[in-house]
Amino acid sequence: MSKVGLLSILEASEGEYVSGEEISRLLGVSRTAVWKQIRKLEAEGYVVEAVPRLGYKLTGKPARLSLQDLLPKLHTKRFGRQIRILDVVTSTQDEVRTMAEQGAPEGTLVIAEQQTSGRGRMGRNWVSPLGKGIWMSLLLRPPVPLPLTPQLTLLAAVALSRAIARIIPELSIGIKWPNDLLVGGRKISGILLESAAEDERLRYIVAGLGISVNLDEKDYPDELLPKAISLKMASGREVNRSDLIASVLEEFEGLYDLYLEQGFAPIRSLWEARSVTLGHVTQLNTPQGSVTGIPRGLDEMGGLRVELADGSWRTIYSAEIRDEAASS
Amino acid sequence: MSKVGLLSILEASEGEYVSGEEISRLLGVSRTAVWKQIRKLEAEGYVVEAVPRLGYKLTGKPARLSLQDLLPKLHTKRFGRQIRILDVVTSTQDEVRTMAEQGAPEGTLVIAEQQTSGRGRMGRNWVSPLGKGIWMSLLLRPPVPLPLTPQLTLLAAVALSRAIARIIPELSIGIKWPNDLLVGGRKISGILLESAAEDERLRYIVAGLGISVNLDEKDYPDELLPKAISLKMASGREVNRSDLIASVLEEFEGLYDLYLEQGFAPIRSLWEARSVTLGHVTQLNTPQGSVTGIPRGLDEMGGLRVELADGSWRTIYSAEIRDEAASS
């Protein structure tokens, strides 16, 4: 049974109720099949009223992003000036990576309404349902050597947190090293910078930026709910996605230009000011083993300076922080 | 006119001469077309004797790499234990990158007899004709953070120079920073490490290793000859490619295990001892501009420590060295 068939019946009845019996007759499927498809539509953001004896009525559709809506809000020079809005993709990262290999310019952006294989750190899945979040990937071609790439991971976290704060000033957002944004210890965004390099030379970075904007509790698997939250759940209000996309691109471009001009120092200060990782005993699982200590700040490369119990210091470039420690 | 048709005629005549007239009759093409195809075969490593009035005779075929020949020589634990030998590929890098994305294990190796789009640094072409060199790509999955990746670029150069020295001890090989191997100022190998990372975490490296083994002067474009040389041209003798491949994999695996166990310090010493870059006034073109000074050594990250004219120091992580400076 196709979604399109059901949608066209509901849309054709123009706000009137259509009985499940009639729908099942028109589409030649069982009433149970109709009910299952209605649930699927709801999961995608359609609002369907169901009244016993009367039937079903379509009362709301998922909001769609459009260039007509987004472009007038965009005040950037390069970021988002080459833009594609797609409906469903496996991952916006894969789309932009392909474009990068074909020579797409810096600032190229792909936004998707839905990702079927959204990726988080360490190959984890990333929940990205239709029309409820910002799932996008931005192409960067910074003229910096490969060892400095992690600085851009930190920059991205600062840019997103500032962009969200512009739209929802009352929200208190903390950065968990290196680039998770947390509200009350729960994750509201996912940032993943995939970089391609030749020897010590960075070819490009595809910055995957995911923000859980208008997701409701029911959009998350149960086991994720203690760890994840959307802007809507955290602030109690719907957020216009176009406004937020424009804000992200502006903040990102501004900080990026600052970085290319003045280096990492200003980014480092902004990151440290927003960090929820610094000052707390933290367990860091590095590829070489586990380290427990108190992160005190960043070094000039972007590594995390950690004070150990014996008073010695370690600089950590790559590690996972246990969730318990981060939300303390 | 197909190569296969001509080859089968020459092979069928079992060391006897076949006249150009007969070949042109059998294949239904002009004698000029026959002659052109003969030249193409020669360029691929076939040896064809041409005697006026008698015609053509096949007296030699290009040596082919085979697993039967290579595997008994291989004494590695992981490197080259998953191996594919291909005839013609666009680039062995592309082959291994695809395998890496599909989860291939560390040490996976692809060797090609010929590359049609062999890549060098900065997207330059790399001359890789049929059967005359070693064009191969090795998959690494080192548990090191992204900023340390350039150390593996330096390690690869040390491994290749030691592997070649084992086979041709009389050859004096210098390393031009970061990873060009030079004999008398002319390049004998090309190393290109393409890395894929997520945030500060290295996912994998595809190490492209090209060695100009048995190329002759005529295999190079004229403009490359002053800058490039093969092992055969440099040493005056043909080198068995399987011996050299086995030697490269053993040296690489040995140094790689040493690196994972003891860190960069021993690799750094080995690199510095073989460098032709240190101690000479050098112009380094970085993404941020040109720097002229005397490289004095590597720092613990793998950056090049350069002493400037005013006595100050700079650490360079990414730059091109002008050829003139390198061959001085």
Name which of A134, A126, A142 is nearest A109 in CA terms: A134
What are the tens digits of pLDDT across the range B20-41? 889 999 899 998 999 888 888 8
Tell me which of A121-125, A242-246, A254-258, B178-182 is least confident.
A121-125
End-to-end CA distance of chain A: 48
- Same domain membership, residue B137 and residue B172: yes
Q: Is the pLDDT of residue A195 over 50?
A: yes
Work out the average pLDDT over B189-204. 92
Mean pLDDT score of chain A: 89
- Same domain membership, residue A321 and residue A175: no
Joined together, the tokens standing for residue B322 give 């002008």
- Same domain membership, residue A152 and residue A101: yes
Instruction: Among B37, B60, B83, give the residue marking a domain's end.
Output: B60
DSSP state of A303: P
* CATH number (domain holding residue B45): 1.10.10.10
- Same domain membership, residue A285 and residue A177: no
Residue A245 corresponds to which amino acid?
A: I
Q: What sign has the CA pseudo-torsion B92, B95, B98, B100?
A: negative
Rounded CA separation A303/A264 (Å): 12
pLDDT confidence of residue B1:
60
Yes or no, beta carbons of B201 and A153 under 8 Å apart: no
- pLDDT band (50, 70, 90) for residue B326: very low
pLDDT confidence of residue B11:
84
Q: Best mutation site among A195, A200, A206 for testing chain B: the one with the most B CBs within 10 Å?
A: A200
- Same domain membership, residue A166 and residue A284: no
Yes or no, beta carbons of B200 and A287 under 8 Å apart: no
* CATH number (domain holding residue A306): 2.30.30.100
Q: Is the pLDDT of residue B44 over 80?
A: no
Rounded CA separation B142/B156 (Å): 13
Give the distance from residue B273's alpha carbon to the nearest chain A alpha carbon, in angstroms: 21
Work out the average pLDDT over B54-73. 87
pLDDT confidence of residue A254:
98
Backbone angles phi, psi at B118, to 5 degrees: -60, 140
pLDDT confidence of residue A277:
93
What are the tens digits of pLDDT across the range A270-315? 999 999 999 999 999 987 789 999 999 999 989 999 999 999 999 9
Mean pLDDT score of chain B: 89
Q: Is the pLDDT of residue B129 over 90?
A: no
Q: Is the pLDDT of residue A249 over 70?
A: yes
Number of domains in chain B: 3
Nearest CA in chain B to A180: B199
Work out the average pLDDT over A105-128. 79
- Same domain membership, residue A210 and residue A90: yes
What are the tens digits of pLDDT across the range A70-110? 999 999 999 999 999 998 888 899 999 999 999 999 999 99
Residue A155 corresponds to which amino acid?
A: L
Give the distance from residue B22's alpha carbon to the nearest chain A alpha carbon, in angstroms: 48
Do B248 and B239 contact (CB within 8 A), yes or no? no
Tell me which of A24-33, A240-249, B80-89, B114-123 is least confident.
B114-123
Yes or no, beta carbons of A149 and B147 under 8 Å apart: yes
Rounded CA separation A135/A130 (Å): 10
- Same domain membership, residue A196 and residue A122: yes
Do A230 and A183 contact (CB within 8 A), yes or no? no
By three-state DSSP, how is residue A314 classified?
A: strand
By three-state DSSP, how is residue A203 classified?
A: strand
pLDDT confidence of residue A80:
95
Query: Which residues of chain B approach chain A closer than 8 Å at the C-beta?
Result: 121-122, 143-150, 153, 178-179, 191-202, 286-288, 301-303, 317-318
Instruction: Among A11, A26, A60, give the residue marking a domain's end.
Output: A60
pLDDT confidence of residue A223:
85
| CA distances for A140 relative to A106, A135, A242, A259, B185, angstroms | 5, 17, 21, 13, 36
Domain extent, residue A98, equals: 67-273
Tell me which of A18-27, A74-83, B122-131, B260-269 is least confident.
B122-131
Yes or no, beta carbons of A196 and B200 under 8 Å apart: no
pLDDT confidence of residue B42:
82
pLDDT confidence of residue A289:
86
- Same domain membership, residue B12 and residue B43: yes
Instruction: Among A43, A60, A77, give the residue marking a domain's end.
Output: A60
Nearest CA in chain A to B263: A288
Q: Is the pLDDT of residue B124 over 90?
A: no
What are the tens digits of pLDDT across the range B65-91? 889 889 999 999 999 999 999 988 888
Q: Spell out which residues of chain A touch residue B191, defining contact as CB-CB under 8 Å.
A: 199
Work out the average pLDDT over A260-266. 96
Joined together, the tokens standing for residue B33 give 């077309």
Work out the average pLDDT over A204-226. 91
What are the tens digits of pLDDT across the range A41-60? 887 778 888 898 889 998 88
Work out the average pLDDT over A130-140. 90
Exposure string of B307-318, with b = 16+ CB inside 10 Å and e = fewer, is eeeeeeeeebbb
Higher pLDDT, A128 or A213: A213
Q: Is the pLDDT of residue B160 over 60?
A: yes
pLDDT confidence of residue B120:
66
- Whether residue A120 is annotated as binding a ligand: the answer is yes
- Whether residue A78 is annotated as binding a ligand: the answer is no
Q: Is the pLDDT of residue B122 over 70?
A: no
The residues near A52 (Cβ < 8 Å, ≥ 6 apart) are none
By three-state DSSP, how is residue A254 classified?
A: helix
What are the tens digits of pLDDT across the range B197-243? 998 889 999 999 999 999 888 888 888 888 999 999 999 999 999 99
- Same domain membership, residue B146 and residue B195: yes
Joined together, the tokens standing for residue B91 give 């680039």
Q: Is the pLDDT of residue A324 over 60?
A: no
**ipTM for the whole predicted complex goes beyond 0.90:** no
- Same domain membership, residue A30 and residue A112: no
- pLDDT band (50, 70, 90) for residue B323: low
| CA distances for B176 relative to A86, B169, B183, B184, angstroms | 47, 19, 10, 11
* CATH number (domain holding residue A160): 3.30.930.10
Q: Which position has the token pair 């900023």?
A: B147
What stretch of H or E contains A251?
helix A241-262
- Same domain membership, residue A201 and residue A262: yes
By the 10 Å C-beta count (0-12 exposed, 13-18 middle, 19+ buried), B253 is classed as buried
Q: Spell out which residues of chain B touch residue A318, defining contact as CB-CB under 8 Å.
A: 144-146, 200-202
- Same domain membership, residue B71 and residue B50: no
By three-state DSSP, how is residue A211 classified?
A: strand
